[in-house]
Amino acid sequence: MSDSLELARVAYDAYGTAVGGLNYLGLPMPPWDDLPTKIADGGVAAADAVARELAAGPAVDGEAEAGTDADG
Percent of the chain residues topping a pLDDT of 70: 81
Q: Are 5 and 44 in contact (CB under 8 A)?
A: yes
Q: With a cut of 80, say whether residue 1 has pLDDT above it.
A: no
> 3 with 51: CB under 8 angstroms?
yes
In the chain, the amino acid numbered 23 is: N
| pLDDT value at residue 44 | 97
pLDDT in tens, 26-55: 999 999 999 999 999 999 999 999 999 999
The pLDDT of residue 25: 96
Amino acid 25 reads L
